[in-house]
With several copies, the nearest count.
Chain A
Amino acid sequence: MIQVSITAEAISPDAETARFAALRGAACGAAVTFVGFCRGVSQQGDVMRLELEHYPGFTEREIGRITQAVAERHGVADILVMHRFGAISPGEAIVLVAALSAHRAAAFAAVEELMDYLKTDAPFWKREIGPSGARWIEPTAEDRRRREEHSK
């Protein structure tokens, strides 16, 4: 089952992962989970909070479409994507991606590809708020490189 949730609520990664993993059938041999946290420090210094803007409707649909495509490409039936928007404090989870699969290679590939997409091309606009003000963030060169590499 594909589950995509774009939410302003705090994400509890362990509770969500447990709930999702409970769906698995007898043929499931592998669960891969990624959690991305808001960091308290960045290249610009201390981070007080992040503000993530999304485009309601459009963002959900784009992420759902990409998730479906990744699931089909890797033959992974069960993928969970949860992504915060709004104000996020250091230490809080921003994103959770989990995949259940018979074998581990497909689950790793699906989660990594989705994260590469989510970190670079998902419809979010992000501001980092630090002691000296707010700053819009765009994907890093490293994010772009990983994305190119995986889309080869």
Chain B
Amino acid sequence: MTRLIFLGRLRDAAGHGERVVTLPAHVETVADLRSWLAAGDGDLGAALHERGIHVVVDQVICNRETENVRDASEIAFMPPLSGG
């Protein structure tokens, strides 16, 4: 079970702030996860592939699209930061 979190305007694109999913076996990396989400929802997929979207795996910013996500319990998608 993996908790997916959509922050800021990605929440609008997803239609919800978070959901808990069971990742299918072929989703191994951050890149796979983006593609799988895009296949289920084209608008969300487009938003997740925009420039400046950061992925946070178990609260650590992920810098490589090849990072493995199979053991992650929480994955967040962050649009560019607004600041406070």
Contact = CB atoms under 8 A, between A and B. Distances in A.
Contact of A119 (B56, B78, B84): B84
Nearest to A121: B81
A127 B76 CA distance: 19
B84 A136 contact: no
A125 B52 CA distance: 13
Contacts, number: 59
A102 interface: no
Contacts of B5: 55
A46 interface: no
A119 B81 CA distance: 9
A4 B80 CA distance: 23
A111 interface: no
Given A55-B76, A58-B59, A136 B7 contact: no
B71 to A, nearest CB: 18
B78 A143 contact: no
Interface majority SS (helix, strand, loop, mixed), chain B? loop
A83 B82 CA distance: 14
B84 A118 contact: yes
Interface in B5-43: 5, 7-9, 11
Contacts of B11: 53
Given A53-B8, A55-B7, A58-B76, A120 B83 contact: yes
B59 A124 contact: no
Given A58-B76, A125-B7, A136-B9, A95 B84 contact: yes
A124 B82 CA distance: 6
Given A121-B83, A125-B81, 4 more contacts: A52-B84, A61-B59, A94-B84, A139-B83
- 9 tightest A-B contacts by CB? A125-B8, A126-B82, A119-B83, A120-B83, A118-B84, A136-B9, A124-B84, A125-B82, A139-B83
21 contacts: A52-B82, A53-B8, A55-B56, A57-B59, A58-B76, A61-B59, A84-B84, A94-B84, A95-B84, A119-B83, A120-B81, A122-B83, A122-B84, A125-B81, A125-B82, A126-B83, A126-B84, A136-B8, A137-B82, A139-B82, A143-B83
